[in-house]
Amino acid sequence: MPSQALPGFRDFYPDELELRAHIFRTWREVARRYGFEEYDGPPLEPLDIYTAKSGSEIVGQLYNFTDKGGREVALRPEMTPTFARMVSARANGLRKPIRWFSIPQLFRYERQQRGRLREHFQLNCDLVGEAGPLADAELIALSIDVMRAFGLTERDVRARVSDRRVLGALLAAAGVSAAHLGDAYQAIDKAERSRPGELAAQLRSAGLGDAVIEKVFAVAAIRGRPALEAALAGLPDAGAAAPLLTALDALDAMGLGAYVDVDLSIVRGLAYYTGTVFELFDAGRTLRAICGGGRYDGLLLALGGVDLPALGFGMGDVVLGELLRERGLAPPARAEVDVFVAAVTPEDVPHALALAHELRDAGLACEFALAAQPLGRQLKQADARGARRAIVIGPDDRARGEVVLKDLAGKTQAPVRRDAVLAAVAAGDAGAHTGSRDG
């Protein structure tokens, strides 16, 4: 073996590309149903559009280098800066709300693990110019409908939904000062993955009192709408939950409520989220997150663009592909051949080529043996290629102006006049009748 793909990069063999194509097709189809338009940008971007957003420590996780013109560049690790630039440049001329999606290949220099490579494709859906909660419901619904389009049900995937405005109000009521909000978010984000003692110690060293820390964990433990509403009762800023509750009502009205779990441990790692946040997981929680997103109203402006409210999500192909394979929802591999044309003798080959090409011109997938082989071998090959039908051309048939059309699955065959082959194949009626005898 000469070599292999770089760590974290993938070779897509035909059956694997079939799954990838299936994922892309489904993504596009569901995005289309929601009126989203597809866009794309360059895979290579100036380094500073990423450091401006996330700070210079992100460079350690980028594929970056100096190009031959002395520019500092990076393979895109995310789509948002590119999206922000494109939207901002034409924001004045675009009708709002803007519904755009893209399927970029993204890169990050990190040690790979299952479900996390150095390269992946990600469906990015963003909605710009609408601050109301129906936009949040719309985007969450889109992500859930992608799952449904793959054949996944509410028993397979769960949408865990929270809202930073709600979290902020509850944490404020718990005694967390504005200065400590970020620390609290970080602790809640890690609550599932870490031992509670460690997080409490971190919060304590950040300056929070034990009573407050206990309340922070109580807030993070809120699950389900009744528990949320109970926690909100008597809160001075109870209106902070209005957008989330409206969005949840909307999801119920769409018939997607069964997929949705209120879960206040969801905050998302990123600092820029301002409202609704959500993540999709497999129900058994054996895999990493399938999808994550939320509202980021100030981000476009912060990136030097327009001041428009916005929200979006990203859904990678790696975890999703693992889940589909696991559930047997990957598409059957191998493109099927419609017709295999077999030549009995070498003298029949030119006639087989002519017929095969006519069939191809008619839009049918058609193959024939590229080397001289006995008829039995050719038919065996037809089976191996998954052909539904075969056409046998031999000297005797040609003398009668016919070919033999075989239905390989039905094990039936019938003579067909040479000039009626296309019609017979198109009708898909091989063996359905005995064929018309001439004379």
**Residues in contact with RNA by the rule CB under 7 A:** 7-8, 50, 54, 58, 61-62, 77-80, 108, 110-116, 190, 193-194, 268-270, 288, 292, 314, 344-345, 374-377, 379-380, 382-384, 392, 394-397, 404, 406, 408-409, 411, 413
How far apart are alpha carbons 295 and 391 in whole angstroms?
59
Compute CA distances 74 → 10, 63, 108, 266, 317, whole Å.
Answer: 20, 5, 10, 30, 21
Supply the Cα-derived Rg of the chain in whole angstroms: 29
Find all residues with CB under 8 Å of 285, minimum gap 6, and list them.
Answer: none
Cβ proximity to RNA: between 12 and 361 the closer is 12
Q: Least distance from C-beta 81 to RNA, angstroms?
A: 9
Place of tokens 């097709």: 25
Tell me if residue 346 falls in helix, strand or coil: helix
Cβ proximity to RNA: between 116 and 223 the closer is 116
Q: Least distance from C-beta 226 to RNA, angstroms?
A: 28
Cβ proximity to RNA: between 85 and 190 the closer is 190
Which residue type occupies 255? G
Which residue type occupies 208? L
Place of tokens 């060293």: 205
Cβ proximity to RNA: between 248 and 343 the closer is 343
Cβ count within 10 A of residue 424:
21
Q: Least distance from C-beta 271 to RNA, angstroms?
A: 8
Q: Least distance from C-beta 257 to RNA, angstroms?
A: 25
Q: Least distance from C-beta 342 to RNA, angstroms?
A: 8
Q: Least distance from C-beta 405 to RNA, angstroms?
A: 10
Q: How many helices (H) and strands (E) does the chain have?
A: 16, 17
CA 203 to chain centre: 36
Find all residues with CB under 8 Å of 261, minimum gap 6, and list them.
Answer: 158, 159, 160, 161, 223, 224
Cβ proximity to RNA: between 99 and 268 the closer is 268
Q: Least distance from C-beta 15 to RNA, angstroms?
A: 11
| Helices 210-220 & 196-206 angle (0-180, nearest 10) | 130
Cβ proximity to RNA: between 409 and 423 the closer is 409
Cβ proximity to RNA: between 80 and 88 the closer is 80
Cβ proximity to RNA: between 306 and 343 the closer is 343
The torsion angles phi and psi of 258, rounded to 5 degrees, stand at: -65, -20
Cβ proximity to RNA: between 95 and 195 the closer is 195
Q: Least distance from C-beta 267 to RNA, angstroms?
A: 9
DSSP string, 61-78: GS-EEE-TTS-EEEE-S-
Cβ proximity to RNA: between 90 and 380 the closer is 380
Find all residues with CB under 8 Å of 253, minimum gap 6, and list them.
Answer: none
Burial 374-397 (b: 16+ CB within 10 A, else e): ebeebbebbeeebbbbbbbbbeeb
Q: Least distance from C-beta 149 to RNA, angstroms?
A: 22
To the nearest 10°, the Cα dihedral for 376, 378, 380, 383?
Answer: -140
Q: Least distance from C-beta 196 to RNA, angstroms?
A: 13
